[in-house]
Amino acid sequence: MISKLRAAISRQLSQPTGVGGRVVAALMNRGNRDLNRRAIDLLDVGRSARALDLGFGGGLALPLLLERAAHVTAVDRAQDMVAAAAARHADDIAAGRLTVLAGDVGALPLDDGSVDRVLTVNTVYFWRDLESALRELRRVMRPGARLVIGIRDGVVMERVDHDIFTIRTPTDLAVALGDAGFDEVDVASAADRKTHLLAATNAR
């Protein structure tokens, strides 16, 4: 029974759907507030930036990005989250400041070199092929574009279903970023070591 519940919750965390998905998204927004704020500060979004929020879930970071960037593209593989964000931000979409799309990191619905800031928080657990995902991110990033990845430490992820979640250490991700062609890779961990931010630049 416990394993079935763990799997059900993990599936919703991976791809929120229906009423349960809305509840999970609200809880994610509450739990991720500080991590998202720190990630956006590290992302260093300028007024002319074209930003990508990949795997935006409950949409917590979207208002913060919209305050800073010239344009934000929001991509999530959960159709319910895409519909909710599109409804919530209809005015921003109509004004041409926000684009909300369904999609996955394996094949992003974006042109080559179309963004210069990428934010993704608590999503890399669901990237089965990390090397391919990072290559796809580089494809849509301009030369010199900045990427920030936010994760929780494996110690606080012990109760998730590991058939759904792939837990990687900050060192694992830093090495993978370098191997994929990113440079200026840096790891910033919270004082309690429960969350980590990785920043990297798309090599020219």
Q: Per-domain residue ranges for the chain? A: 2-202
User: What was the pLDDT predicted at 180?
Assistant: 96
User: What was the pLDDT predicted at 16?
Assistant: 61
Summary mean pLDDT of the chain? 88
> Per-residue pLDDT for 161 more than 50?
yes
Question: How sure is the predictor about 27, in pLDDT bands with cuts at 50, 70 and 90?
Answer: low
Question: How sure is the predictor about 30, in pLDDT bands with cuts at 50, 70 and 90?
Answer: low
> Per-residue pLDDT for 14 more than 60?
no
User: What was the pLDDT predicted at 160?
Assistant: 81
Domain 2-202, CATH 3.40.1550.10 — does that match? no
User: What was the pLDDT predicted at 1?
Assistant: 47
> Per-residue pLDDT for 19 more than 70?
no
Averaged pLDDT, 1-20: 56
User: What was the pLDDT predicted at 98?
Assistant: 98
Question: How sure is the predictor about 3, in pLDDT bands with cuts at 50, 70 and 90?
Answer: low
d(CA 71, CA 5): 39
Lowest mean pLDDT among 7-11, 46-50, 91-95: 7-11
Q: Is pLDDT larger for residue 78 or for residue 1?
A: 78
